[in-house]
Amino acid sequence: MSQDAGPPPERVRVTGPPRRRTPAARSAEVDDGTRLGGMYVGSLVREQLRLAIGILAVLGVTVGALPLVFHLLPGLATHQVLGLPLSWLVLGALVYPALVALGWAYIKRAERNDADFAELAAALPPDEIVQDER
Amino acid sequence: MNSGLDAAPGIVAIVLVTLATLLIGTWGMRFSRTTSDFLVASRTVHPRLNASAIGGEYLSAASFLGVAGLVLLNGADMLWYPVGWTAGYLLLLVLVAAPLRRSGAYTLPDFAEARLGSRPVRAVCTLLVVAIGWLYLVPQFQGAGLTLQFAVGAPTWVGPVIVGLVVLANVTSGGMRSITFVQAFQYWLKLTALLVPALLLISVWLGDGAPRVPVGGEWLSPLGSGGRGLYVTYSLIVATFLGTMGLPHVVVRFYTNPDGRAARRTTLAVLVLLGVFYVLPPVYAALGRIYAPELAVPGKSDALVLELPAVMVGGPLGELLSAVVTAGAFAAFLSTSSGLCIAVAGVLSQDVTGRAWWSGRRLGGVAAFRLGAVVAVTVPGVLALLVPSIGVARAVGLAFAMAAATFCPLLLLGIWWRRLTDAGALAGLGVGFVGSAVAIGWTVAVGTTESWADVLMSQPAAWTVPLAFVTMVVVSRLTPQRVPVSAGRLLARLHLPEATGQAPQPARS
């Protein structure tokens, strides 16, 4: 336990401020306040949404199509691969690395989108990105 | 159930897990001082620790006991449960993780209020967090009862009482910060407790000449037969893929990340941890079909993971392995129940217990949280004793279905669609909630899947989720004047990377 000497209000103060970095380090300059800033933000959102939909489309035609495939080709599920029925091999094990790979692909692209945006924002002329009232 | 089994190793295992949980919780308490510590661990949890904690919290009794039991009972079509529970994190990652973290809200009701600026929407969200949390807690408590009954021959009420008390002790003393360490520990405990016995059991199986599973056809098939089988599987996919992001105890963990980038990385690590874990339950199910086919009946199948080591190995080693899986199962109840308790207590303390109508003054943050925790645990504990069990994994599946039909549309439209209105959100949440509640009531009351209506009700997500989405969009379109003026600005905030400008690296710990 911590030391009992200090009065209670002190204890709150000791742990509050020294926390590592608060996430409020958000850019004050680029918001939707200016026209150009707004355009950039809009394009970032569209870019990220397009990426998300792309990843989900891949998920849909791979994992999402499995029930339909097994339904249409009933023999496939019990087909033996490496001594295991194919359905068990796919659903019990192979699905998981596939999900991780999709997640990894997403993160790489999403972070690149974020970085591209940050670069653009840094290149904006100051009078375009400064918030009108703040 | 199995009176021949010696109770001592089981008792020792449960006591050890309980002690370890309380000790780590107390150790973590040294870091808990402020209300922010209690609710979101002051948002400074590193992705690796946070991912272990999310994994520890997420792998509930349904994953530890329920999946193996369901697969043993029904066959390969039940493999979709763990697949869906993992894939849900991929959808969470690509659609929700970073924006939700950047929204800066403590809880789901906070998010709803910040996004739509509406008290009624906030109130409905609070109600839903509590409903989904309790729906999820009841089977955890029932699973605890089953485990203790099996392991030490205790009456079924003992499990819920012990789990409830330990969770309360931990949550009320240290809140989110101490629970983070506890949950992370419990992920690795659960993985070990399932992995080590599984390896031994596989070696026993190989030593026996690797006998084949004595059943085929239906049990090996990844789908129920005909159109119903296809419907049930796709509906389960909708519920689990979309439900994960709407679970209150999952979402609240994302607020503990330092920033949006860390939230994404945490989610990817969670995908890895879950994938590693979920390979194991089907192994138990397949071995169970060979060595313990007598367990493949409803009501008994959930005990498979606990019973199989003793059946296959026997002797002191078998007892030791039984004790190990019992410890893992107990960790599963404790961690998931703690997470749910924190989530429910969090919203209760903000919206109910913090208001203290019975006395003149408001309760302080931490006091309100503690009172909320007591309520959050007591009600489902009592329910667990009164309501008949429909199988741990199935009951949890219904909680997913409700989350998918309510919070999923709210989050997706709230994050990606500027024109969502409070009226639209209220209507959609209402439709999703009522549809799910009717389906759950029907399933619990009828208990069979004879007709198409029963099938539709037992696996409702395929119709409730689209219904909720359509309602939310249509009503929002009809009330365009109610689009919040700050919507565009808020959306920009959700999607802007924090690093813009001075580009600080994620916090290292």
For B235, other C-beta atoms within 10 Å of its C-beta total 23
Domain coverage including residue A55:
31-122
Mean pLDDT of chain B: 82
**Lowest model confidence (mean pLDDT) among A6-20, A72-86, B89-103, B333-347:** A6-20
Interface test with B, best of A3, A11, A12, A32 (most B CBs within 10 A): A32
Domain membership flag for residue A61: yes
Q: What local confidence, expressed as pLDDT, does residue B25 receive?
A: 72
Contact B409, B115 (CB under 8 A): no
Q: Tell me how close the Cα of A127 comes to any Cα of chain B, in angstroms.
A: 15
Q: What local confidence, expressed as pLDDT, does residue B146 receive?
A: 81
Mean pLDDT of all residues in B109-124: 89
Tokens encoding B113: 């209020």
Q: What local confidence, expressed as pLDDT, does residue A89 receive?
A: 84
Per DSSP bridges, beta strands A80-81 and A84-85 are antiparallel
Residue A96 and residue B278: Cβ atoms within 8 Å?
A: yes
B332, pLDDT greater than 90: no
**Lowest model confidence (mean pLDDT) among B115-119, B218-222, B263-267, B413-417:** B218-222
Mean pLDDT of all residues in B205-222: 73
Q: What local confidence, expressed as pLDDT, does residue B6 receive?
A: 60
Nearest to A23 among B31, B43, B491 (CB): B43
Quote helix, strand, coil % in chain A, to nearest 5: 65, 5, 30
Query: What is the ipTM for the molecules in this complex?
Result: 0.84
Q: How far apart are CA B174 and CA B25, in angstroms?
A: 7
Give the CA distances from residue A81 to residues A85, B72, B79, B292, in Å, rounded to whole numbers and listed in that order: 6, 21, 18, 25
Q: Tell me how close the Cα of A132 comes to any Cα of chain B, in angstroms.
A: 14
**Predicted confidence band at A97 (pLDDT cuts at 50, 70, 90)?**
very high
Quick one: which of B407, B272, B267, B413 has its CA closest to A110?
B267
Domain membership flag for residue A40: yes
Mind listing the pLDDT tens digit for each residue in B140-161? 888 888 878 877 777 878 888 8
Residue A59 and residue B87: Cβ atoms within 8 Å?
A: yes
Q: What local confidence, expressed as pLDDT, does residue A1 receive?
A: 44
Contact B160, B316 (CB under 8 A): no
**Computed over its alpha carbons, how large is the radius of gyration of chain A?**
25
Contact B339, B25 (CB under 8 A): no
**A117 three-class SS:** helix
How many domains does the structure of chain A reveal?
Answer: 1
A74-102 b/e (C-beta count within 10 Å ≥ 16 → b): eeebbeeeeeebbbbbbbbbebbebbbeb
Amino acid at B438: V
A93, pLDDT greater than 90: no
Residue whose entry in the numeric block shows the structure tokens 């780590």 = B24
Contact B483, B417 (CB under 8 A): no
Q: What sign does the dihedral B437-B438-B444-B448 (CA atoms) show?
A: negative
Residue A71 and residue B268: Cβ atoms within 8 Å?
A: no
Q: What local confidence, expressed as pLDDT, does residue A73 receive?
A: 81
**Predicted confidence band at B217 (pLDDT cuts at 50, 70, 90)?**
low
Residue A100 and residue B268: Cβ atoms within 8 Å?
A: yes
Tokens encoding B34: 């402020």
B129-166 b/e (C-beta count within 10 Å ≥ 16 → b): bbbbbbbbbbbbbbbbbbbbbbbbebebeebbbbbbeb
B316, pLDDT greater than 90: no
Domain membership flag for residue A8: no
Domain membership flag for residue A7: no
Our CA angle for B180, B166, B130, nearest 5°, is 70
Domain membership flag for residue A37: yes
Contact B472, B427 (CB under 8 A): yes
Q: How far apart are CA B489 and CA B494, in angstroms?
A: 9
Domain membership flag for residue A58: yes
Tokens encoding B487: 């919507």
Residue ranges and CATH numbers for the domains of chain B are 8-394 (1.20.1730.10)
Of A36 and B361, the structure prediction assigns the larger pLDDT to: A36
Q: Tell me how close the Cα of A31 comes to any Cα of chain B, in angstroms.
A: 7
Domain membership flag for residue A110: yes
Domain membership flag for residue A118: yes
**Paired residues of B492 in beta bridges:** none
Of B389 and B303, the structure prediction assigns the larger pLDDT to: B303
